[in-house]
Amino acid sequence: MASVEVYFFDEHRVGLKPILRKVWSPVGERPVAVVEHRYEWLYVYGFVNPRTGETSWYLIPRVNTDWFNVVLEAFATEVGATEEKVMLLMMDNAGWHKSQKLQCPPGIEIDFLPPYSPELQPAEKLWCLVDEPLINERCSTIEKLEEVLSTRCCVLSEMREEIRSLTHFHWLKIP
């Protein structure tokens, strides 16, 4: 009999166009943020096991079925998915998630959340944590952005308890 672990997957676009948020400033002074108004993007693919807080992160240049196949293969290897250790992967209904060209590695089973229901997706809660070092900051190149995100994803991989408390919804019954 196979053991089953449940992971949720989502992707997040981050680019050179800045993430601006409110900041404190002295009364009468206007805060200044240097920004880069270029449209270059990087995608963060995030996998989370809400029961344990374990995460897997991938920085990818595009979202499409070919890249998703590469990431699924890497994820299956990373978590040790086999016929005896199955990973149930829950995700939204994006077109490349349901493509006929999708190649699901052995040990990975995919199921879909109801359409138009991001509130049911625990992985959606990860993006505020991923964005944190980028808020009101300027990355002049996509390589610099990748460096910041790589460091951040390594830090987040160690924050299991915080991620578990953020993603393990009270109604989510995972054995």
pLDDT of residue 87: 96
Name the residue among 101, 162, 136, 124 with its Cα closest to residue 9: 124
The number of beta carbons lying within 10 Å of the beta carbon of residue 38 is 13
Q: How confident is the model at residue 173 (pLDDT cuts 50, 70, 90)?
A: confident
Query: Strand, coil or helix: what is 160?
Result: helix
Rounded Cα–Cα distance for residues 72 and 96 (Å): 12
Class of domain 3-21+34-167: alpha beta
Q: What are phi and psi of 78, to 5 degrees?
A: -60, -45
Per-residue pLDDT tens digits for 91-118: 999 888 889 999 999 999 999 999 988 8
Rounded Cα–Cα distance for residues 57 and 119 (Å): 21
pLDDT of residue 68: 95
Name the residue among 147, 162, 134, 131 with its Cα closest to residue 48: 162
- Residue 39 · residue 18 · CB < 8 Å: no
Per-residue pLDDT tens digits for 36-84: 667 789 999 999 999 999 999 999 999 999 999 999 999 999 999 999 9
- Residue 131 · residue 153 · CB < 8 Å: no
Q: How confident is the model at residue 35 (pLDDT cuts 50, 70, 90)?
A: low
pLDDT of residue 84: 94
Tell me how far apart the 2 most distant CA atoms of the chain are, in Å: 67
- Residue 14 · residue 132 · CB < 8 Å: no
Domain ranges in the chain? 3-21+34-167
- Residue 84 · residue 2 · CB < 8 Å: yes
pLDDT of residue 175: 64
pLDDT of residue 30: 85
Model-wide pTM > 0.85: yes
Q: For residue 136, what are its two tokens? A: 């009101």
Rounded Cα–Cα distance for residues 10 and 22 (Å): 26
